[in-house]
Structure 1
Amino acid sequence: MRINRRSMLLGGLGTALAASPTLAQDITFFRIATGGTAGTYFPIGGLIANAISNPPGSRTCADGGSCGVPGLVATAVASNGSVANVSAIAGGSAQSGFTQSDVAYWAFNASGIYEGRPKVDVLRAIANLYPETFHLVARKGAGIKTVKDLAGKRVSLDEPGSGTLVDARLILAAYGLTEKDLKAEYLKSQQAADKLKDNALDAFFSVSGWPLGAIAELAATTGIDLVPIDGPEAESLVKVYSFFAIDEIPEGAYKGTAGVKTVSVNAIWATSSKQPDQLIYGITAALWNPSTRKLLDSGHSKGKVIKLETATQGLGIPLHAGAEKFYKEKGLIK
């Protein structure tokens, strides 16, 4: 009997599937919308996607338990940031995404930047990940020591669709400024860093877990000043907008750059209420698996502050039912 190559391949696959039921199971694809590749969302998203994925025939943890969600293939996808990610979740083009706690709150309640627009009432939280720190980065020699010094300067407020742009406007307003008082530009962090390095920009806002790669490179090669966002203006900002918190960038976070007082919001991993409860329960459990802890601790400096004990704090939106079940079992919520 003549056996061709295709028959052999198909036969081999059939044998493998029969021998290993896990290879025959359905594959579930799960996108995590993140941010620009130069920011913190993207690498953190990659670590989490790796941790929760467990396609057929994949690994087991060192302790013998299964890593990730069986049959799940998760991918971190670059995006324009928080606002764009909320839209992607609402529209179904992404199964989940990272968003700032303020943007999530406004979207869910149709307030703030979403006032007059339909509520994104399908938005649900999987976990609070880490504080997102406001960086106001100035070119050395630009004469910018306070937020008020931005008047008349060439300043990037981040790209349209990003949560950074929204909050940069709030910060300016707290100090009595608007973007009309600046020579405003709207660039991604990496583009802004490149222009600042070329002396074509004086300062830029960026919201990210520190250290941010684009800023670290500037600090090491060009030299920068971090501008504080503090004083009565910052205290008023936190009082009016409860999703803000007082924060700081410590000494040594960036080479040769003094630490500063600033403000922050939380980075939230969000999904849609339409995602199956069992799936989100499994993803939440995989996020807090001990093997994921090792990945987060070794994969990125901000990964170390992603902790189970703070997972349900400062969310701004309801938990997904699947995540809520997990946290109730762990005693984090009643």
Structure 2
Amino acid sequence: MQRSLMQLTHGLWLLLAVLLLTGCREAPDQAALDAVIEARLTQAFGPQTFAIERLRRLGSGPLAADAQGRPRQIVYFNAVLGLERDLDFSSWDTLNIAAFASLLGATPLGVSGLEQAGNRRGDRVYVHGSASFVRDAAAADGWVPVAVTLPGVGTPSAPLSPASSAASQQLFARLKQLYARQSADPKRQYKIINEELDQAYETITQRLDRLDHALILAGGPAGGEYQGVAQLLAQTLTARGRTADALTTAGSAENLALLRDGRADLALVQNDLAAAALLGSDGFASAGPQPALRVLASLFPEPLHLIVAADSALRTPHDLAGRRLEIGQPNSGSRANALLLLAAAGVDMKGLAAVREGGLEQGLADLAAGRVDAVIATISAPAARIQEAAALGLIRLLPIAPDLQRALAGQATGLVPIQLPPDTYPGQHEAVPTLAATALLVAAERLPRADVDLVLGTLFGGIDFVAAGSAAGSQINRRSAAVGLTLPLHPAAEVFFAGAVSPVD
């Protein structure tokens, strides 16, 4: 009996050993992981930038097969990277935190050790990341690395959200009942409700402003970079004793309207739209000029992406003549920049085969389906939808040559020369020269100096956007605060940047 038990135990150990050995062969090993992480860091930053002090393989798991039906595996790891030279991830010329995290198969919150003010030689960066591989019989170990994008991580919400309270939900339900009420004249019914709500809103806003003098920040769409930065700023100001709130909005155009109507004190706005609002031109002609608009600082770049199919014969903006183009939604900054680029490249809009205005997501779908030849979009990089398309090998980015950069850059357009660093997007191993609009923090000239001082001090000295996982926020720094300004500086901001006011402690 004892001998049989020993034989059974021995057999189980042999079976376990076989399974373990088979598992090792069925997934990339430590050596494959070491090689791909070393190669990616060197490709993106050059040699002698990062030293891999520790890289521990944690395990692996299957991914869905690729388009050719080949098996894929994802390998998870923890790494400690030592910096061998100074590196500033807030610089507009290097990978930001989102692109760096994507390079290593992490989310921004999976990377720690990066400093908002820049890192120094000897600093350590800690990464909880991953690398993905596809089965390839021609490879020495049977696996080759591939790019896979991970879901983005949104900016955390405020600890308390009044909109989610039971009382507010009851109020929303009551309002819904008013709209659902049956009436002999529904059109007049809705008009009455809207008029009363508008009046009530104004009354409530005025009373609340008198109560706590809250600063209202107009941000952007939920989950977007504008709203994320606005939320972090409002939360930090509130924590420091200055009550503030960030509004979710449709974007720059609505933000400028809120400022004009006095329903917001501060707003994040794309710089070219800010210039148009100041003058009352383009989409702001009917509302008239906003001469009291002032800028507090430039925050982060929003590069112009010129996207074509990976196998496209197009090489330069000049090649877009006669093609089918997606140029951005009506009245958007993206569309305005596309028109500027096409005009500078000598592309006649009337000669285009087709012009679509559906926006980036629809444009990428049309590009994949062969319905358009190129997509032009102005958006913070790396943009998640572009990352996904690049990881699948569907697209590439066209460069904007120096002559076009010089022709378009300047205060008249608000565009600034910039480059997308290598590996901003999967498969993009060379820098891509382009242009960028900038996101501005703007206000009315009447905003008191004390508020301007507090906001700028908090923005540049009181928020660790890197630790918060904000890709756009991680690029906010005083060195680029005057880049791409299209409005006059607020008088208090002039004093702040002259050095009379120190960042908030």
Aligned to 1:89: 259
Aligned to 1:252: 423
Deviation at 1:119, TM superposition (A): 2.2
Asked whether the 8 Å contact 1:137–1:204 carries over to 2, the reply is: yes
Deviation at 1:123, TM superposition (A): 1.0
Deviation at 1:111, TM superposition (A): 5.7
User: Counterparts of 1:94 and 1:195 in 2: how far apart (Å)?
Assistant: 37
* 1:19-168 matched pairs, under 5 angstroms: 26=212, 28=214, 30-34=216-220, 36=221, 40-54=225-239, 66=240, 70-79=241-250, 81-110=251-280, 118-168=288-338
Does the residue aligned with 2:246 lie in a helix, a strand or coil? strand
Can you list the C-alpha shifts for 1:126-145, whole angstroms capped at 9, x where unaligned?
A: 21112221111112234322
Alignment root-mean-square deviation, CA: 3.0
RCO comparison, higher one (Cα < 8 Å, 6+): 1
User: Counterparts of 2:342 and 2:332 in 1: how far apart (Å)?
Assistant: 16
Deviation at 1:171, TM superposition (A): 0.7
Structure 1 residue ranges without an equivalent (≥5): 1-24, 55-65
User: Counterparts of 1:120 and 1:142 in 2: how far apart (Å)?
Assistant: 44
Aligned to 1:186: 357
Q: 2:405 aligns with which of 230, 234, 239?
A: 234
User: Counterparts of 1:50 and 1:86 in 2: how far apart (Å)?
Assistant: 22
Deviation at 1:221, TM superposition (A): 2.7
Asked whether the 8 Å contact 1:38–1:189 carries over to 2, the reply is: no
Write the letter of the residue equivalent to 2:376: F
Larger radius of gyration: 2
Can you list the C-alpha shifts for 1:202-243, whole angstroms capped at 9, x where unaligned?
A: 322221231112211211135211011224233222269463
Does the residue aligned with 2:212 lie in a helix, a strand or coil? coil
Asked whether the 8 Å contact 2:328–2:358 carries over to 1, the reply is: yes
Can you list the C-alpha shifts for 1:232-262, whole angstroms capped at 9, x where unaligned?
A: 2332222694632221112100001243111
User: Counterparts of 2:411 and 2:481 in 1: how far apart (Å)?
Assistant: 24
Write the letter of the residue equivalent to 2:327: L
Write the letter of the residue equivalent to 1:204: V
TM-score computed with the length of structure 1 as normaliser? 0.74
Change (3 A) 1:123 1:251: same
User: Counterparts of 1:288 and 1:260 in 2: how far apart (Å)?
Assistant: 29
> Deviating runs (4+, > 4 A) in structure 1?
36-39, 110-117
Aligned to 1:283: 455
User: Counterparts of 1:118 and 1:179 in 2: how far apart (Å)?
Assistant: 28
User: Counterparts of 2:318 and 2:358 in 1: how far apart (Å)?
Assistant: 21
Asked whether the 8 Å contact 1:39–1:208 carries over to 2, the reply is: no
The percentage of aligned residue pairs carrying the same residue is 26
Asked whether the 8 Å contact 1:85–1:99 carries over to 2, the reply is: yes
TM-score computed with the length of structure 2 as normaliser? 0.51
Does the residue aligned with 1:318 lie in a helix, a strand or coil? coil
Deviation at 1:101, TM superposition (A): 2.4
Deviation at 1:173, TM superposition (A): 0.3
Deviation at 1:115, TM superposition (A): 7.1
User: Counterparts of 1:117 and 1:255 in 2: how far apart (Å)?
Assistant: 43
Can you list the C-alpha shifts for 1:19-41, whole angstroms capped at 9, x where unaligned?
A: xxxxxx7262513233x557543
Does the residue aligned with 1:301 lie in a helix, a strand or coil? coil
Does 1:306 find its partner at 2:476? Answer: yes
Asked whether the 8 Å contact 2:217–2:245 carries over to 1, the reply is: yes
Change (3 A) 1:285 1:331: closer
User: Counterparts of 1:242 and 1:223 in 2: how far apart (Å)?
Assistant: 31
Does 1:207 find its partner at 2:378? Answer: yes
Change (3 A) 1:231 1:314: closer
Can you list the C-alpha shifts for 1:175-206, whole angstroms capped at 9, x where unaligned?
A: 11143333111123233234334444332222
Write the letter of the residue equivalent to 1:92: G
